[in-house]
Amino acid sequence: MGFIYLEEQYANYKRVKIKCTKEHIPFIYDDYGHIFLSNFTSFVDILYLAFRLNPMFVVVNKNGTLSPVFFFDIIKMSLQFSIPNKNGIFKNIEQVHIYAKNKKIHSVVIFPEAMKSNGSCILLWKNEIFLDSENVLKNKCNLITFIYDVNCINKKLNQIYTPPHTVLHPFIHIIHLCFNIYNKINVIWLSEKDIANSIRDMEFLNNDELVNCLRNLMGQMKTTGGTLVNVKSDLLENFVNYWNITQKKKYL
């Protein structure tokens, strides 16, 4: 994938508008069951998270249930365009949290969008995975965002292809990345402690308001591509099918 420049930052308090204590990255916890919510664009995200956290990955299914998966399964999913269509063993992240505590798993990574975006926005989250999980949402949720920047050394060498993967066959996607001279990855973290302190005195009318608060924080963390859009990740599969059809057409 060419030369990779990795920059890790703690969330800027001016952007997220909460007090930030700047925890050391990656966050190390002595106890178990900590949830890391991340935006999702590419298999590169998963490689980084696996390296930094050695977590249990949990995927969101079409019906809103959650399933733990092995590393190679989540890599495989990251190269596809459809949300898994199966019944998971967890109904919400509260159950995921309890499972991780019982199995002595420190970190759990969940992509609340359920499927990839192109990195230019934050898609709608699958809010049903957060039902009956207020305690976890308020006290055990960390946020991570990925930004793939253009070449900061020389604008003439700006990459013409980036890791976010929303079209093309996986093999072609990887080939394009391998021929990139330069890739810059900016990863921004926000700890559960700062999130808990910021929302402790807030009153939420319902669970969706609490979830939207976290989603808004994720968007504010990103220096670019943090726009919240009213688009579901389920549309990616339809878009890819349409895109593939257009590539086969010949226009006069």
The domain total for the chain is 1
Confidence of residue 242 (pLDDT cuts 50, 70, 90): low
Q: What is the pTM of this model?
A: 0.86
For residue 194, pLDDT beyond 90: yes
The boundaries of the domain holding residue 133 are 3-248
- In angstroms and rounded to an integer, the radius of gyration of the C-alpha atoms of the chain is 18
Average pLDDT over residues 160-166: 61
- pLDDT tens per residue across span 39-73: 988 888 999 999 999 999 999 999 999 999 999 99
- pLDDT tens per residue across span 116-132: 877 778 889 999 999 99
**% of the chain at pLDDT higher than 90:** 52
For residue 1, pLDDT beyond 60: no
CA angle 33, 41, 213 (to 5 degrees): 55
Average pLDDT over residues 163-184: 67
* pLDDT confidence of residue 252: 47
